[in-house]
Structure 1
Amino acid sequence: MAHPSHPVAELDGRPMTDEALLATALTGYGHFTTMRVTGAHRVRGLDLHLARLVRDCGVLFGTEPDTAAVVRSVRRAVERNRAAVTPGDDVVVRVSLIAPEFDVVRPPAAAVPRVLVTVREAPAARLAPLRVRTARYVREMPTVKHSSLLGALHTRRAAQLDGWDDVLFIDREGRVTEGATWNVGFVRDGDVVWPRGDALAGVTAALLRRTEPGSSAQVAATELAAMDAAFATNAGFGVRPLAAVDGTRFDPGHPVLDRLHRAYLAVPAQPL
């Protein structure tokens, strides 16, 4: 079984070479989406993942990707590499659009990116609640799921070195925005509250908001004590409770969180 931090990778439908990896590492210019693929080759929100790739590709490369080719690459990578990761079970697939030949001195107006697919073991459907601390940080180009994770991962690392599980970002005005690699939501008086601010709109959160629209509001870090529960969302684990943010504790067993978990599992998954 492959270690989660060492996924198997394919570039344009072929095993990735060291040369391609080196070329990509030199710039880090690209974008991606991460999806959970079931044992039956289905994905919740596949259309939203593909729409994200199209949107972000236009922003970064000035072109539109061939989404049918992307789907074929994902299907092939899963079929070939599932046994090396976790036979028969869900896997997490990251689809990155990269341009190894991208000119850093004179970036082209338009570039045709290549499709890098990595496959790794999926986390359990229900994970232990997270204890997170806040940090003032706003990602560069927060509405684009770009490959530049330096700031987010450095901030996460600092939190974990201090004994926390993860980090929750707040902006310069002290408003909650997002986690390092996840969206955040809160429960107040039985209703879901989605923070409004400069953050990446996650696919999992978008799927949940179709059945749990709740309310959208700016949430100051100083207002967290007024919330009854808090949760994280991403495609890897779905819905995960937060047990604490800084010194504020939340109820990880709140019934609304179970309702959100069941609502997410009930989302029909689309075939690859």
Structure 2
Amino acid sequence: MTTPPTPTDVLRLEVDGLPGTVESLRARALDSFGHFTAMQVRGGGVRGLDLHLRRLDAATRELFGQGLDGDRVRDLVRHALIGDGGTGATGVIADASVRVYVHAPGGTPSLMVTVRPPTELPAAMAARARSLKSVPYVRPVAHVKHLGGFAQAYHGREVRRAGYDEALLTGPDGAISEGAITNVAFWDGHEVVWPDGPHLAGITLQLLRARLADAGLPTRLGPVRLRDLPAYRAVLVVNSWGVSPGRRVDDLDFPVDEKLMTAVSEVYEAVPWDAL
């Protein structure tokens, strides 16, 4: 399975269109109050670009009391993909994993853009299948993709040590919220159910929820608890990397439903790439 990105694989890094400096990076290292979005870029395009821009604007308004112009975000991402970002790398990068971080030193929103190699999931669904281990944790202010996710990283590390791929965050009475870095959904044979516990509405989740019904897959938001899982036939795990099946939650195994996964994957693959 793919693993979360590390700082050492950054190809380019810019702050407000300029190479990161000791001073600009020090401000971010000492201030964890901010938010970000993560996107996959292919051929200079992004799936759900408008949703990424809305997410950044809404979170900037909530955290800093100011809007964030989408054209500015697009310009800075394009600049990072073209420029060397102070790393010495040159030439246009058409395919990449890009993150846009927003801080507000001095009260003014400032954007850091990082460019990493693209993340590609295995072609075969069985090779993508993930195991999830439940942990008793719900992210604070879960609707914001905020910084400072120590608990997510901690739980993610611990479940990987235990032989699982991803942490499944749960609240009181085993109510499921989301994965540590993913959204999850459960298929009961009739509809796709997204847990309604506190969660971030990820871009891939939003793209799928808007389109699954048209593909004959009804979908809804509703309560899902750990004790309910034996009633479900399959698990979906989604994030900016794409769509994967879940093969196990704790000690409960789920067979990979190839028909379901093909249908969901085709819906996602049909989403157009928006030009930056």
TM-score normalised to the size of structure 2? 0.88
1:24–1:99 contact (8 Å) kept in structure 2 = no
1:44–1:270 contact (8 Å) kept in structure 2 = yes
Shift of the alpha carbon at 1:15?
Answer: 1.2
What is the identity percentage for the equivalent residue pairs of Structure 1 and Structure 2? 36
For residue 264 of structure 1, what is the aligned residue in structure 2?
Answer: 268
Could you tell me how far apart the structure 2 residues matched to 1:145 and 1:54 are?
12
For residue 96 of structure 1, what is the aligned residue in structure 2?
Answer: 101
What's the secondary structure of 1:189's corresponding residue?
Answer: coil
For the pair 1:149 / 2:153, whether they are aligned, the reply is no
Could you tell me how far apart the structure 2 residues matched to 1:264 and 1:220 are?
26
Superposed counterparts of 1:99-114, under 5 Å: 99-101=104-106, 111-114=107-110
For the pair 1:61 / 2:64, whether they are aligned, the reply is yes
Could you tell me how far apart the structure 2 residues matched to 1:125 and 1:90 are?
14
Shift of the alpha carbon at 1:16?
Answer: 0.8
For residue 123 of structure 1, what is the aligned residue in structure 2?
Answer: 119
What's the secondary structure of 2:83's corresponding residue?
Answer: helix
2:152–2:180 contact (8 Å) kept in structure 1 = yes
Change over 3 Å in CA distance of 1:86–1:177 after alignment to 2: farther
1:216 equivalent among 204, 212, 221:
221
What's the secondary structure of 1:140's corresponding residue?
Answer: coil
Q: Write out per-residue CA displacement over residues 51-75 of structure 1, whole angstroms, 9 at most, x where no aligned residue.
A: 0011100111111112211100001
Shift of the alpha carbon at 1:4?
Answer: 4.6
For the pair 1:229 / 2:234, whether they are aligned, the reply is yes
1:42 equivalent among 41, 45, 51:
45
Shift of the alpha carbon at 1:157?
Answer: 0.9
2:25 equivalent among 8, 21, 24:
21
What's the secondary structure of 2:102's corresponding residue?
Answer: strand
Could you tell me how far apart the structure 1 residues matched to 2:265 and 2:160 are?
26
Shift of the alpha carbon at 1:191?
Answer: 2.2
2:156–2:167 contact (8 Å) kept in structure 1 = yes
Consecutive unaligned residues in structure 2, runs of 5 or more: 214-218
Shift of the alpha carbon at 1:34?
Answer: 0.7
Superposed counterparts of 1:167-182, under 5 Å: 167-182=167-182
Q: Write out per-residue CA displacement over residues 22-46 of structure 1, whole angstroms, 9 at most, x where no aligned residue.
A: 21111211001111111x2111100
Read off the aligned partner of 1:231 and give its amino acid letter. L
Could you tell me how far apart the structure 1 residues matched to 2:136 and 2:119 are?
28
